[in-house]
Amino acid sequence: MLRIIEPGIETTVQDLGRYGDYHYGVPPSGVADKYSFIAGNVLLGNPIEFAGLEMTLLGPKIQFEKDTVISITGAPMEPRINNQLIPMWENVRVTEGDILHFSPARQGVKAYLCISGGIQVPEVLGSRSTYLYSQFGGFNGRKLIEEDRVPIGEPLPGVFKQVGKSIDSPFLPDFTKSNEFRVVMGLSGALISDEGVKSFLNSEWKVSTESNRVAYRFKGGSIRFQNIKAPFGAGDSSSNVVDIIYPIGGILVPNEEEVIVLLHDGTTGGGFVTIGTVISSDLDRIAQSRPLAASRFLAVTMDQAIEARMERQKKIYDLVETLR
């Protein structure tokens, strides 16, 4: 068990998400930064789908109730066991009674605690991920609170011999203050004027403080709509369309001064103009963007998006091979 002494800002149980129910209105949920999470499980020798804890800006204070091995990845939060600083991106042994706590993240937003054997909460629709807004999955469908006791699996065979194994710097993400996110343009983007498209791509956007696991809001640019009447069945605003399915990463334009990028807890459909989709390979970096961080959007082709996905898959494959 893990005993939660202090919960941190928002700590939830997550895995790689649930799939196959999007058409019922159930988003995939799962970890916001998939690469960092997968790296933590790979380091331990866990299957990559084993559940762990996702921590936001400030991690929890936890007491371990059994000996095990952990790895901590993602945004740098200076983890300490019994007040002694421990490394991130490395396997660390903990013993029964040890207390783990964190400093606030210096860069990035999300960090991950992976544990040998994973976190063993019940599966809901094939996943242990928490979906906060419908209150299911994870630990009782909610973020962790003080005095929760979270069940964990038995350490995997041989894992104590892997203590000290770490991930080399070429495989570590760079949590920078500014980002460029690649976008496949389209969907209902024809309702945006040519000037609006140019402004979207040429403007510097800043992450809004209202951003969360559902969506990231960006402000600072200006997007003009086409001067046409909204179609029958839509609302009265130029930003409205007849309801459509939103892809994960979809970029909604609810007004001329703001865009919204849907993440893994995002709503599955609605009636806003959608100018394009952030490619899957860049969603991790969106989720690690801090409030007020400067960002730009870069248009790419579908072929370039597929190439970026293949490069990401190869990086994960090379990481697995390196750690064997």
Residue 95: how many other CB atoms lie within 10 Å = 11
Same domain for 248 and 114: no
**Where among 171, 201, 232 does a domain terminate?**
171
> Percent of the chain beyond pLDDT 90?
82
Do the domain assignments include residue 62?
Answer: yes
Predicted confidence band of residue 230 (pLDDT cuts 50, 70, 90): low
Same domain for 167 and 186: no
- Tokens (6 digits) for 213: 């696991």
* pLDDT recorded at residue 285: 94
Total domains present in the chain:
2
Predicted confidence band of residue 176 (pLDDT cuts 50, 70, 90): confident
Same domain for 136 and 278: no
* pLDDT recorded at residue 199: 93
Average pLDDT, the chain: 93
Q: Which of 287, 235, 244 is nearest to 262 (CA)?
A: 287
Do the domain assignments include residue 291?
Answer: yes
Same domain for 268 and 148: no
* pLDDT recorded at residue 225: 83
Q: Which residues, other chains included, contact 322 with Cβ-Cβ below 8 Å and sequence gap of 6+?
A: 168, 171
Do the domain assignments include residue 70?
Answer: yes
Q: With 80 as the cut, is the pLDDT of residue 102 above it? A: yes
Same domain for 184 and 165: no
Do the domain assignments include residue 318?
Answer: no
Do the domain assignments include residue 95?
Answer: yes
Stated as kind and residue range, the H or E segment containing 68 is strand 68-74
Whichever domain contains 233, its CATH number is: 2.40.100.10
Give the chain's end-to-end CA distance (angstroms, integer): 28
Same domain for 199 and 158: no
Residue 192 lies in domain: 178-313
Do the domain assignments include residue 320?
Answer: no
Relative to beta strand 61-64, strand 2-6 is antiparallel
Least confident of 129-143, 184-198, 253-267: 184-198
Same domain for 193 and 134: no
Do the domain assignments include residue 323?
Answer: no
CB-CB contact of 60 with 53 (8 Å): yes
Q: Which residues, other chains included, contact 147 with Cβ-Cβ below 8 Å and sequence gap of 6+?
A: 3, 4, 5
Q: Which of 240, 183, 246, 255 is nearest to 214 (CA)?
A: 246
User: Residue 60: what are its φ and ψ, rounded to 5°?
Assistant: -80, 175
* pLDDT recorded at residue 188: 78
How far is residue 56 from each of residues 60, 87, 98, 110, 120, measured CA to CA in Å? 9, 18, 22, 5, 21
Same domain for 103 and 13: yes
CB-CB contact of 191 with 274 (8 Å): no
Place of tokens 């994973």: 118
CB-CB contact of 150 with 119 (8 Å): yes
**Where among 131, 149, 171 does a domain terminate?**
171
Q: Which of 176, 58, 38 is nearest to 111 (CA)?
A: 58
Same domain for 183 and 95: no
In the three-class reduction of DSSP (H, G, I as helix; E, B as strand; rest coil), residue 314 is classed as: helix
* pLDDT recorded at residue 232: 62
Predicted confidence band of residue 175 (pLDDT cuts 50, 70, 90): confident
* pLDDT recorded at residue 94: 98
Same domain for 139 and 41: yes
Same domain for 75 and 167: yes
Do the domain assignments include residue 31?
Answer: yes
Distance CA 271, CA 269 (A): 7
**Where among 171, 192, 215 does a domain terminate?**
171
Q: Which of 112, 149, 141 is nearest to 124 (CA)?
A: 141
Same domain for 229 and 157: no
DSSP codes of every residue in 233-300: TS-SSTTEEEEEEPPTTEEEEEETTEEEEE-TT--SEEEEEEEEEE-GGGHHHHHTPPTT-EEEEEE-
Q: Which residues, other chains included, contact 196 with Cβ-Cβ below 8 Å and sequence gap of 6+?
A: 222, 223, 224, 225, 256
